[in-house]
């Protein structure tokens, strides 16, 4: 039986745990509902911006945070223990360009992201929800896709990954109106064993991973 604990050891994470006096604060609040997120205030600088919607325990945030210091990384996650674990790991490693926030990732991108304010949006293994009563809980819907398109800078990048083939087809059908679709084959170079905990577990279970990197099409608002 494959257990998530087998794929979530600190020894597998980038960086090393620093002396306590060198730890950084990596938790950030989102404020009141509908309040736009202030990246400059949260990170104390102006830099390129990446958000991981439903970031889980932040494994990819750490990988990218170390590899790309020129980017500010924000992870939004609704499961409190995952936020606590991710922020602790980032803080123990002294990262200043990684922050995690507790909250609804769909609400963040639809209500808290200023137009043209984000360079990259990442979404890994969201729940597919096929039950009619639950389908509206999907993170990837036409509404959220439009919000992602609006939040991205011109030519901005949207990364989507799932181990569910039907959900991937659904994404492809809806993404094409707003983004230039590009299927990505094979593992990520920066994380050959998997960018996220879910990817690592799914691969161990023999599931196929479907990946796409898509670029924002330049459309007028009335065309989107």
What is this structure's pTM? 0.92
Per-residue model confidence as pLDDT tens digits over 98-140: 999 999 999 999 999 999 999 999 999 998 665 666 556 667 8
Question: Are 200 and 194 a contacting pair, CB within 8 Å?
Answer: yes
User: What was the pLDDT predicted at 140?
Assistant: 84
Tens of pLDDT along 38-76? Answer: 999 999 999 999 999 999 999 999 999 999 999 999 999
Give pLDDT, residue 35: 94
Q: What structural domains and CATH numbers belong to the chain?
A: 23-184+192-216 (3.40.50.150)
Ranked by mean pLDDT, the top range of 97-106, 171-180, 187-196 is 97-106
């Amino acid at each position: 039986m494959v257990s998530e604990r087998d794929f979530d050891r600190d020894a597998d994470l980038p960086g090393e745990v620093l002396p306590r006096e060198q730890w950084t604060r990596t938790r950030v609040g989102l404020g009141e509902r509908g309040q736009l997120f202030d990246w400059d205030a949260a990170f104390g600088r102006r830099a390129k911006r990446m958000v991981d919607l439903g970031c889980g325990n932040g494994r990819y945030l750490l990988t990218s945070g170390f590899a790309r210091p020129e980017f500010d990384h924000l992870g939004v996650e609704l499961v409190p223990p995952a936020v606590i674990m991710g922020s602790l790991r980032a803080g123990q490693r002294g990262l200043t360009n990684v922050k995690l926030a507790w909250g609804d990732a769909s609400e963040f991108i639809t209500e808290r992201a200023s137009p043209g304010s984000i360079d990259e949006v990442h979404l890994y293994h969201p729940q597919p929800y096929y039950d009619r009563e639950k389908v509206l809980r999907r993170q990837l819907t036409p509404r959220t896709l439009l919000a992602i398109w609006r939040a991205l800078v011109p030519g901005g990048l949207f990364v989507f990954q799932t181990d569910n083939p039907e959900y991937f087809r659904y994404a492809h059908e809806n993404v094409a109106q707003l983004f230039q679709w590009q299927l990505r084959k094979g593992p990520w170079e920066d994380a050959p064993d998997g960018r996220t905990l879910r990817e690592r577990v799914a691969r161990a279970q023999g599931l196929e991973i479907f990946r796409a990197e898509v670029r924002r099409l330049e459309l007028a608002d009335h065309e989107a």
